[in-house]
Structure 1
Amino acid sequence: MFSHRLAEHGFDVFQMLAVDLLHKFELGVWKATFTHLIRILVSFKADLVLDNRYHQTPTFGGFVICRFHNNVSEMKKLAAHDFKDILQCAIPCFEGMFTSHTGLNQIVSDLLFDLSHWHALAKLRIPDDSTILSLEEVTKSLGSSLRRFATQVKDIPMKELSSEVDHRGHRAAKKAAKASTEKSGKGGKQDTEAMAVARVAEKAVKATGTKLHEFNLSTAKECGTTDSYSTLNVKVEYRLSKKRYGQMNRNNFEAQVARADKRVCAMCKVSQQIKSVYGAPKRLACKILGLPE
């Protein structure tokens, strides 16, 4: 209704939606695609081979590609940067894993290449006209690859992963326990596990989700690079606040965190003043110890 009323005045509602790579792509399209690839491998009983390949992948740089655990297919306690690393190493790890299905290997390879290519172009810090044109072409190719993949795997019987079934069962049990508590007015413990009997449901690929249509390429031209309006910065700051909360005694922690922020700001000012007077830290150390510079 909202978009229809604006469309009468010639306004496109998608211009209001900036691309958030953290939630729309890394934790959205790519996570859903990776989950479905895992479902296919589980049906082929080849998920352990994928875990072994990821675990053997060497690290790169300081914090660019970290060591993968030996249970990547279970997707336990993975953050957005973990899914980003999984995508960057996906092409060699998934190579030749779908030989039992005719033509699926090439389709998966093309899909993983388009996903990696789109992600790399979207995260460029200094884009130009040529990279934006390349991003538009890769977006079209990515849509075609996703539709081709959805068509190819629609005949493969796939079901939910065990982790998905457990998560849905716990969520349903918690909801049932809350409803029962509100109805009875008692807060006693109940057998929540017996309330929700989760059955394994079948899953299918959806290539028409809303997150796919929110890849608005005009934001790169109008708003600049995606790192300037990504929610990743908020997540990093939240991690810092959470770390400081763990250093407090939980007693009036708001004031303690505020005092910690003030101390950090004061130390930064002192550090800047010292650098402005003595220059480099090595020069300051020589000055204090009385050593020649």
Structure 2
Amino acid sequence: MAARNFEDLLQCAIPVFDDLLPRPHDTLHMHSDLTLDILDQTTTELGKQFRRFKANVCTAYDARELDKEVNTRSRRQAKEAARQTQAGKGKNPSKHEDKPDGMAESVERNVLHRKVSLNLHTYKFHSLGDYALCIRRLGTTDSYSTEAGELEHRTGKQRYLRTDRKTFVHQLTQIERHQTRIRRIKNHLQQSQSHEAADSDPTIHHHIGLSEKINDNIGSHLRLREGDPAMKNYFSRLKDHLLQRVLSSQFADLDQAAHGDINQILFKRNRIFHHNIACINYTTYDTRRDQDVINPKTSHCNIMVLSSSSESGHYHYANVLGIHHVNTVVVRGSYQTPHQMEFLFVRWYEAADADSCRMALDHICFSLLDSEGAFGFLNPVDVLRASHIIPHFSKGMHHADGRGLSGMARDRGDWQEYFVNRFVDRDMLMRFHYGLGVGHVYSHQDMLPVGSPSDVSSPQEITVDGREGDEHEEIDSENSEYEPTGVEEEVLFDQEQNGSTESIIEELDNMFTIEHKLDYES
């Protein structure tokens, strides 16, 4: 098992270990000074938890070796005893002639299952406290890692297998030049086709296919799902969502945008088009570009968006049920404006009653099917990235008989509660340390000094049902080239909403003063 596999197991271990023991025993590539302070505090707390686990939990259980461990140890001891016996016979044969039975008895006694406990006296535990100091002195470990150089020997060995083992120097040179030319040709072809493969363009916020092969008549789409709780008032809510997007892009005043008639929205040929995947591009905490692929038919169907409510934290979470687009015509007097509009049909999560432990993962659950706002429509521009939602296994499933109430919502597989895995990758972890990710521009806006350019024009806030004030996605159906800007660069929020960084809020306020300007390069 490689280290990356072990890391993946640890990332998903918390929900599995939850309630495993009785309650009394239940328990970056880029750094800044603040993140190193957090690392110091976390390491100190981790050491306390390890010692507490050894003192309280390990002593409460009579843990013994596994049969596999016993067999391995017994074979090792038998080999060592045989080696010592052989060596002893060579020196004084008569002295060891009468002791084979006693030796066998001692080996057999050692075969018993020994008591085991957590061993804190190892190098891994000893070196935990030195990581923050080493990062301060030498930088992050990937800056001076020898992994790239150590693995380069594989390249030469693979090329050597393609030679005749005689004049291999000249042949290795030719192979290297051929591979370089092929790589250049491939890069050239990818660049020339970049306008056709928009999903590979990291400069746009998202990509949803332009194909209209999979489509339904809207009336038939609704009749086939009649009686499904997820489809209640589907058509009117969709038109209201699309109208608000159109009006908010035309009027800066929210009051003007709110007064609209949904009958102004007409669907071209009365068709709705379906898509299998949506590609979401985002900026990571270390100012790199990455991409998540959303597929409603797989487990990669959960997303996160910014929240405008200070009570529910920084983020809202949703389960994507469908990826669609419609060709609409907005009728305003004698004017008719065509729009190709993409939208996501989602089922919202809501916050669940969490444990009092401040180190626990966030708990969420699905809203009731008949509750207001359980389902909604979302502009893909508002999606930050995909989220990793793990069932709270110890709570059990919502429908024990496996029969749900909504085929559209696929609620037959619902669990009572879910965990939000903030440790799925480095970027996700830094999103929960709100304001500390250099690439998370949306979290910096509220920390800029008064009078900065960000105060000139503040974008509209996103509501829970997915409506937004500043819309950039609307395009003319005849001119489909557009580059939507993600909400990550547009929305302002309060820094003090994040409970995980409450201990350093004052330090952040002192850091981002009027005299201090943000300089990420230094």
Please, what TM-score do these two structures have when normalized by structure 1?
Answer: 0.46
Q: Which has the higher contact order (CA 8 A, sep 6+)?
A: 1
Based on CA coordinates, which of the two structures has the bigger radius of gyration?
2
Q: Which structure has greater helix proportion?
A: 1
